[in-house]
Amino acid sequence: MSMLNSLLIHDHDLGTVRKATADEIISAARVCVAHRMRRGASLSSPTAARDYLVLHFAALPHEVFCVIYLDSRHRVIECQDLFRGTIDSASVHPREVVKEALRRNAAACLLAHNHPSGVAEPSPADELITRQLKAALQLVDIRVLDHLVVAGAGCISFADRGLL
C-alpha cells in the first residue's frame, strides 16, 4: 500500500472519513514547509530551504527566479519571486536583486530558480548570473550563501558543487 492510499481526511462536520487526494496532500505539505520558512525562522539546515523550494516550484510550467533574504543570523526575512520567465529561461537583473535585498536590510541571501524541463543541472548562463549576483551583492556586504536549481523533486546546490 502506498503512502498516498493511507492518508485520510476526517470531516468533523459530516462525521466522514475519506482518502486524501494527491492535491490535498501537496497543499498540506506546502503549508507545513512554508511555516518553516516564515519570517524569523532560522535556516538551520540546507534541507529546510530545499524542501520549501521543491514544493514552491513544483507545479510551475515556467521559470521563476526567487531570492530568500536572510538577516545576520540567517533567519528568514522574506522569500520573493523576483523574476518570471518562459519555459526555459528567465531574465535576472542584478540591480533589482541588490535593490530588493537592501530594501529588506538583508545580510545574506539564497538564490533559487526552477528548471521546468525536469533537469536540475545548472547551465553556463546559471553559473554566469550567479557570479554576477555574488559580485554585485558583495559590493554592499550581502553574502550569497547558495544558489539552488530545482527540477521536479531534484535540487542542485552551487555551494555543494563548489561553484560559489
24-43 per-position pLDDT tens digit: 766 666 666 555 555 556 66
The CA distance from 152 to 164, in Å, is: 23
Topology, domain 40-157: Cytidine Deaminase; domain 2 (3.40.140)
Reply yes or no on whether the pLDDT at 121 is more than 50: yes
Residue appearing with cell numbers 524541463:
117
pLDDT for 1 equals 38
Output the nine-digit C-alpha cell for 22.
494527491
CA 136 – CA 99 distance, rounded (Å): 10
d(CA 136, CA 41) in angstroms, rounded, equals: 26
What is the location of CATH 3.40.140.10 in the chain?
A: 40-157
Mean pLDDT of 62-86: 91
- What φ, ψ does residue 155 adopt, rounded to 5°? -150, 125
Other CB atoms within 10 Å distance of the CB of residue 159: 14
- In this predicted structure, what is the pLDDT of residue 42? 67
Query: Averaged over 112-139, what is the pLDDT?
Result: 93
pTM over 0.75: yes
**Burial, 59: exposed, middle or buried (Cβ in 10 Å; 0-12, 13-18, 19+)?**
exposed
Residue 80 has pLDDT above 50, yes or no: yes
pLDDT tops 60 at residue 62: yes
Q: Which of 80, 148, 88 is nearest to 118 (CA)?
A: 88
